[in-house]
Amino acid sequence: MESKQFAVDQKKADLEYYWDSYSTINIHEQMISDYTRTHTYEKAINACNIKGKIVLDVGCGLGILSLFAARAGAKHVYAIERAAIGEKAIEVIKNNGFEDVITVIRGRVEDITLPVERVDVIISEWMGYNLLYESMLGSVLYARDKWLIKGGLILPDKCTMHINGIEDQWYYDNKINFWRNVYGFNMTPMRAEVLKEPLVETLNSSSIVTSDDCILTIDINTMKYEDQCFTSPFKIKAFREDFVYGFSTWFDVSFPQSGEVLTTSPYQVETHWHQSMFYLDEPITVAAGEIIEGTYSLKFNDINPRFLDIEISFNFHGVFHSATGTMKYQMQ
C-alpha cells in the first residue's frame, strides 16, 4: 500500500516537473529578455553598496539577480526557488563560476531553513500581471520579517499602481461583441465570460482618453500582508471627446539608494507585464474635461488565493451621457 502511494506520488512529481519545465522556458526567456526589467534590476543592484553583504533572492528563477549581486561583490547570496527551474539555476551558477558565492535553496520561502540568521539585503522580482496576480510579495514580506536585519535593504522597496480610461473599439468589436453573431449564431453567453476577464496586453498610448490616478502606494519596508488587498477611490479627467470602453492599470516599482524606477506605464517602453485592461459592458461617452469618478478594489479569491477578484465602480455625469455601474472581474 505504501509503495503504491509512493509510485503515485512519484508520478505526480514527474508530471509536475514536466509541466513546470514546459512553462519555464518561455516565461523565463520572456522575463530575462525584458531588458527594461532585467537591466533596471542590474543598475539598481550595482548602485547600492552590496559589496561584502549577505543577500537573499526571493524566487530566484534562473538566478539572474543572484548573479548580478555576486558580480557586484556580495559576500554570499542565498537564492530561494520552489519551482524546478531552480535546478537550472544551480547549473548556470556553476557554469559561471559562482557556486561558492551563491547557494540555491529549493523550496518555499515559508518552509526552508536559511544557514544564516540574518541577511543585509533582500532582492526579489516578485511582481505579477496587474502587479499582484501570482505575485510573490507575500513571500518577500515573510522573508523581511524573519531574516532582514534592522535597516536592511529591500530591492525594490516602493510601489505604486495607476488607472486611466481607454478607447479600444477594435478589441470591443472583435473580441467582445464578436460573440453576438458567430457564423449566424448568437453566442452572447461567451460575451459575459470575456468581459469578466481582464486583458493583459500592451496598450497603444493613443488609446488613452483620460488622465490617470494613483490607486495604490506601498512601502515594502513597512507594509503588512493585508495591505495587498485594497479599495481605492479614483478620479480621472477626459482629455478629449471620445468613448471610454474600459480602464487600464499599470504599476511602477522603485529601488532604494539608487532611486532607479522600473515602470510599466503605457507611456514608456513596453515590458512583459504590458498593462491590464478592464472593459465595460457599455462604453461611456465623454467630453473633454469631464470627470469619471470610481473605486477600484482588489482582493485574493476565497477559494483559490492565486486568483484576483477585482471590482470597479464608476459614476459619470456628462453632457452627452450619464452612467453608473459596477463591474466584477477575475484574473485566473
Question: What is the binding site for a copy of itself (CB under 8 A)?
Answer: 11, 14-15, 18-19, 21-22, 24-25, 28-29, 32-33, 38-39, 42, 62, 64, 67-68, 71, 88, 91-92, 95-96, 175, 178, 182-190, 193-194, 197, 303-304, 307, 332
In the complex, the smallest distance separating the C-beta of residue 175 from a copy of itself, rounded to whole angstroms, is 7
Q: Which is nearer to a copy of itself, 120 or 168 (CB)?
A: 168
Q: Which is nearer to a copy of itself, 7 or 287 (CB)?
A: 7
Residue 166 and residue 277 in contact, taking contact as beta carbons nearer than 8 Å? yes
CA distance 280 to 15: 39
By DSSP bridging, strand 242-254 and strand 261-263 are antiparallel
b/e per residue, 150-173, with b = 16+ CB within 10 A?
A: eebbbbbbbbbbbbbbbbbeebbe
Which among 134, 201, 270, 282 is annotated as catalytic?
Answer: 134
In the complex, the smallest distance separating the C-beta of residue 17 from a copy of itself, rounded to whole angstroms, is 10
In the complex, the smallest distance separating the C-beta of residue 226 from a copy of itself, rounded to whole angstroms, is 23
Which among 42, 81, 125, 167 is annotated as catalytic?
Answer: 125
In the complex, the smallest distance separating the C-beta of residue 20 from a copy of itself, rounded to whole angstroms, is 10
In the complex, the smallest distance separating the C-beta of residue 276 from a copy of itself, rounded to whole angstroms, is 15
The single residue listed with the C-alpha cell 515559508 is 110
Q: Which residues contact 151 (CB under 8 A, 6 or more apart)?
A: none
18's grid cell: 514536466
Name the CA dihedral angle for 92, 96, 97, 101, rounded to a multiple of 10 degrees: -60
Phi, psi of 19 (to 5 degrees): -60, -45
In order of 5, 31, 128, 167, 191, the CA distances from 203 in angstroms are 49, 19, 17, 10, 21
Active site residue 134: yes
Active site residue 125: yes
**Nearest residue to 154 via CA among 178, 195, 126:** 126
In order of 67, 116, 228, 283, 290, the CA distances from 127 in angstroms are 19, 26, 12, 30, 33
Cite the active site residues.
Answer: 125, 134
